[in-house]
Amino acid sequence: MRHHWMFLGACGWVLLILVFATKLIGHKSVEEYEERVGSPNLTVSGQTTGKVTLSTAGNPVLQDPEQMMAQSSAVSEMHEWDSIVEKRLQLLSVGCKNRSLENLTRIPISKFVLDRIFVCDKHKILFCQTPKVGNTQWKKVLITLNGDFSGVEEIPENLVHDHEKNGLPRLSSLTPQEITHRFETYFKFLIVRDPFERLISAFNDKFIKNPRFEPWYRHDIAPVIIRKYRRIHRDSDQTASGLHFEDFVRYLGDVEGRRRLDHQFGEPIIHWTTYTELCAPCDIHYDVVGHHETLERDAAYILSRAGIEHFVSYPAIPPGITRYNKTKIERYFSGLSKRDIKRLYARFQGDFQLFGYSKPDFLLN
């Protein structure tokens, strides 16, 4: 009986010791766990395996190393594009100070310019439209940001350019004080592309394909240009043959004659008006100048800089559509006189130099 009680007593002491040891080990484990969570990384054998963050429930979440590398790469690309955008702005600044280009670059901020700049007050953004440079897609982005549509793909094409219904206010609709405030505090951007390639796109869109069915380009504008600038023609074939690219180039290169025709048309036609006339980049300090040739990178960069990348996506860009097509430009300009090409370049020289596009020597020499 005595041995029995001694055995029970020994068991009790063992249980007591085990309980104490368990609590001590548990407390130490909690301290070690808290140290790991509080530190930026978990390591095994001295190697980083992932970053620990806390979920909304307060539980630790180990981020995938590949995800961390992707985030790091994205940050690196943003920094790289920062320097590219800064170089573009520096080039623009230098060009604006070039006195030999003053007549091409010093454009007053008129109502015509203010009509080109769309406003998104909700996210403090100003966008200057430059037709034939992805302008339609950026309008879709702003319309989506206004909240009427959940995504750009839901916006009907006919609504985008209906300025009475698309809900996009223009700077020209505001008071001078409101305009000044937005110039000083809003994120401002525009997009450009090779000036001659843009003219080819405008010519095809308005006089050849005319996908939006705007008959006045063919029926009203084209005949006036043909009568003045086609060197050899018969009255009977003016409308039958349509506007030739050669006629179009002569019209654009004739400064005084074009101004008279534009007055007859009502106002300068934005589809072939220069970037400087549209957006006054030497008088309005834009935060970003995007290029159509690098639109994939520029679109993502602009969304991030404007702080809207979590609210909207830029529409998918078809492969190859932004690539500069030197062969196409040569084909359109072949057969045109050097005199006509040089006069055209003289008019768009400001756009070439301000935005870093090379003088088209293959056309001019």
Is 56 among the domain residues? no
Is 15 among the domain residues? no
DSSP string, 270-300: GGGS-HHHHH-TTTS--SEEEEGGGHHHHHH
Is 58 among the domain residues? no
Is 35 among the domain residues? no
Select from 173, 215, 193 the least CA-distant residue to 274. Answer: 193
Q: pLDDT tens string for the chain (365 positions)?
A: 444 444 445 445 444 444 444 444 444 443 333 333 233 332 333 333 344 443 444 445 455 555 555 455 556 677 889 999 999 999 999 999 998 888 888 888 999 999 999 999 999 999 999 999 999 999 999 999 998 888 899 999 889 988 888 889 999 999 999 999 999 999 999 999 999 999 999 999 999 988 778 889 999 999 999 999 998 655 545 555 699 999 999 999 998 898 888 888 888 899 999 999 999 999 999 999 999 999 999 999 999 999 999 999 999 998 889 999 999 999 999 999 999 999 999 999 999 999 999 999 888 87
Tell me the C-alpha distance between 254 and 349, whole Å.
Answer: 14
Domain span at residue 259 reads 75-357
Is 274 among the domain residues? yes
Is 62 among the domain residues? no
DSSP reduced 3-state for 128: strand
DSSP state at residue 236: G
Whole-prediction pTM value? 0.78
Is 13 among the domain residues? no
Query: How many domains in the chain?
Result: 1
Is 31 among the domain residues? no
Tell me the C-alpha distance between 229 and 254, whole Å.
Answer: 10
